[in-house]
Chains A and B, each alone.
Chain A
Amino acid sequence: MKTYRTHLMLCAGTACVSNNSFKIKEALEKEIKKHGLQDEILVVMTGCNGFCAVGPIMVVKPDGIFYQNLTEEDIPYLVEEHFLKGRPVQKLMYFPPKEKEVIPKMMDIGFFAHQTLIALKNRGLIDPEKIDEYIARDGYKALAKALTSMTPEQVIREIKDSGLRGRGGAGFPTGLKWEFCRKSPGDEKYIICNADEGDPGAFMDRSIIESDPHLVLEGMIIGAYGIGANQGYVYIRNEYPLAMKRLEIAINQAREYGLFGENIFESGFNFDIMIRKGAGAFVCGEETALIASIEGKPPEPRQRPPFPAQSGVWGKPTNINNVETWATVPTIILRGYEWFSAIGTEKSKGTKVFSLVGKINNTGLVEVPMGITLREIIYDIGGGIPGGKKFKAVQTGGPSGGCIPADLIDLPVDYEQLTRVGSIMGSGGMIVMDEDTCVVDIARYFIKFTNDESCGKCTSCREGSEALLEILNKICNGEGEEGDLILLEELGKAIKDASLCGLGQTLPNPVLSTLKYFRDEYEAHIKDKKCPAGVCKALIQYSVDKEKCTGCLLCVKSCPQNAISGKKKEPQTIDQDKCIKCNMCYEVCKFNAILKG
């Protein structure tokens, strides 16, 4: 590889790509050439940098200068100023909310400074389409160590002792799962990487594959060696084209190097891998449904036992782990279980990747040690709630998880604590809600999702989610009755008890947890026919505060129904018959003169 004085690490994760990072690359290369700097400066396309809120992102190495929100138009000025004349461009740097000065360097930005990276250790530092760059960051060294100096039993022992637990949702101890599969009778065994990420707002697995596909593959080969499997599958949804492309490139490169196939590193161990594309059904994240889908059958979960470790793909012993779990394995093998188990809490070791979304300033992907508090994630890393609004709650674990209220903000995040408050770790989605979010509406949203995604095999899940949705719709439409809440609770518990798989067993969680913490908000909908957050259209009415209205007519212009009228410079009135409650007037008013309620 040629020596350059500067590497421009331009983010090419899905979020930045959809904001034109490939066009920015072209513009950069054109300008660099124009100034004759093509032998000094190299543009490197990396995977997801994590700070998706301010993409497209570029980090200048070695200085560590962080540029954000880049557009093609910025590039000629940027190249001339910074790369020709050596003057970093302030106006393209990170500007923290409420602060007066920009923060030029990436590692000084709160979003990055508070993270601990294991699964994301190479993000933004390598070109994910070049295996050599992965190797230069200790890539495939863990595999070499495992194959030459460890027995399969020792590999499993190491993972067991590290305390690693499944990152896909349930948090089952990974080493123990491997051991079950290893001890299952049979010569033919399989491993699977579950990349069927389906929670709304979750993109951990996609980003890991996009930024560091070899890390996942190396983890899989090590796992296969430990378990005694010779064939692996990556089950990935077809909606992830960029992740799939990088995974294919990575597999091909690794195969050419002899890291897949026969006699890997002359150890006598054989292993190969195939990609299976999923059609994006949420239920395929469930182990047995996923296995059915790999076999070409309809993706319906089945009764367990037998567990996949006894009878999985093609009836053979099979081990399934999630993307993040596999991506954590190489570092544990390389650095040892003591190092890993020193991070985290008593029963939850290591780090966890979260996708931080919703009403939060720094939307993005973060990796933090287990035991960190919600407050640190939401405020120190996430930068707090936009627009000075109040933090209301956070949903963890996606549609299977629960809603955690603001007064539990100092809760340490690990498997046990989240379960204790009625939520789950899940795969790592974290949806932040502010005071303008209605929890009944949120619960309804998640139930609508799981109702759509239920495979229909169990009556409790298929019909139960339908009934939950019906009641929640009623409440949001102002038709809630006394007794509805008790019915929701009873039904929720019955669905949990009677459903076969994780989808049904967890789908009532958003309803049950919001009922637990926000019962008064449900009651306001039913008894007072009010939506305190001002979201449920049937329960709100817009009116004009005659004291505050200046008659600027901004709302009149924005109203699509011509429902607002009045004289210029005088208070306006809203015609309730015409109003469709689109919220436009509320959003445009600069004087807080539109009242909701």
Chain B
Amino acid sequence: MPRIKIEDLDRISEEIKKATLLREGAGRAKITVHMGTCGISAGAREIMNTLLVEIEKRDIKDIILTTSGCAGLCSKEPMATVELKGEAPVKYIELTPEKIRKILLEHVLGGKIVKEYVLAIGSERIS
């Protein structure tokens, strides 16, 4: 490790934050891949891997990627939910690596919902 300058503090910080942002629990966007048994057998793991690769490749810093269990609509798996800060969550269905890549680029990074893959906007009611 070489000597660092003051400017390097920000560089190191940015670099590490990409990987540690998820510890703070608050990113600009959160993508949840539903990974119940149904999701996994339908290919959710491939969706997850695609996202991990893309996020690293594109040097995206402010997105939290996480998983959850079955979303309840097993016939439409693999599914993912995208939540932009301050906006209602959007559920996407029957995903493929190509579709999730498009969602990442257009919705998560571009802010425009990819309507053709959407199941519903908003959350279920919890009583």
Contact = CB atoms under 8 A, between A and B. Distances in A.
Contacts, number: 107
A12 to B, nearest CB: 16
A2 B56 contact: yes
B16 to A, nearest CB: 4
A235 interface: no
A257 interface: yes
Interface residues of B, number: 40
Contacts of A125: 20, 23-24
A44 to B, nearest CB: 8
A6 B1 contact: no
B34 to A, nearest CB: 7
Given A86-B35, A86-B69, A135 B9 contact: yes
A184 interface: no
Contacts of B25: 61-62, 64
Interface in B48-67: 48-49, 51-52, 55-56, 64-67
A303 interface: no
A141 interface: yes
Interface string B15-27: 1111110111101
Interface string B25-42: 101001000111101100
A501 B14 CA distance: 49
A84 B33 CA distance: 12
B126 interface: no
Contact of B9 (A40, A83, A144, A266): A144
A24 to B, nearest CB: 19
A258 interface: yes
A248 to B, nearest CB: 16
Interface size class of A (residues with CB under 8 A): 35 or more
Interface in A113-149: 125-126, 132-133, 135-136, 138-141, 144, 148
A5 B48 CA distance: 9
Contact of B55 (A3, A135, A140, A144): A3
B interface SS class? helix
A84 B3 CA distance: 42
A144 B30 CA distance: 33
Contact of B22 (A61, A83, A86, A126): A61
A143 to B, nearest CB: 9
Given A5-B52, A140-B9, A132 B23 contact: no
Given A5-B66, A40-B52, A62-B66, A136 B12 contact: yes
A7 B6 contact: no
A63 interface: yes
Contacts of A64: 25
A1 B51 CA distance: 16
A39 B24 CA distance: 20
A7 B22 contact: yes
A133 B12 CA distance: 9
Contacts of A40: 48-49, 52
A3 B24 CA distance: 15
B68 A86 contact: yes
B16 A133 contact: yes
Candidate in A3, A4, A125, A133 with the most chain B CB atoms within 10 angstroms: A3
B3 A9 contact: no
A253 interface: yes
Contacts of B6: 144, 148, 265-266
B19 A4 contact: yes
Contacts of A568: none
Contacts of B2: 256-257
Candidate in A4, A64, A83, A138 with the most chain B CB atoms within 10 angstroms: A4
Given A136-B13, A253-B1, A1 B19 contact: yes
Candidate in B2, B13, B23, B40 with the most chain A CB atoms within 10 angstroms: B23
Interface string A1-26: 11111110100000000000000000
B13 A3 contact: no
B52 A3 contact: yes
Candidate in B5, B55, B67 with the most chain A CB atoms within 10 angstroms: B67
Given A3-B19, A64-B25, A132-B16, A265 B52 contact: no
Interface of A: 1-7, 9, 39-40, 61-64, 83-87, 125-126, 132-133, 135-136, 138-141, 144, 148, 253, 256-259, 265-266
23 contacts: A2-B19, A4-B52, A5-B48, A5-B66, A6-B22, A9-B23, A39-B49, A39-B52, A40-B52, A62-B30, A64-B25, A83-B67, A84-B40, A85-B69, A125-B20, A126-B20, A132-B12, A135-B13, A135-B16, A140-B9, A256-B3, A259-B4, A265-B5
Given A1-B20, A86-B36, A86-B39, 12 more contacts: A3-B56, A4-B52, A5-B65, A39-B52, A84-B35, A84-B40, A148-B6, A256-B3, A257-B3, A259-B4, A265-B6, A266-B5
User: Closest 10 interchain pairs by CB?
Assistant: A258-B3, A136-B16, A1-B19, A62-B22, A86-B69, A86-B35, A256-B1, A61-B23, A5-B65, A144-B6
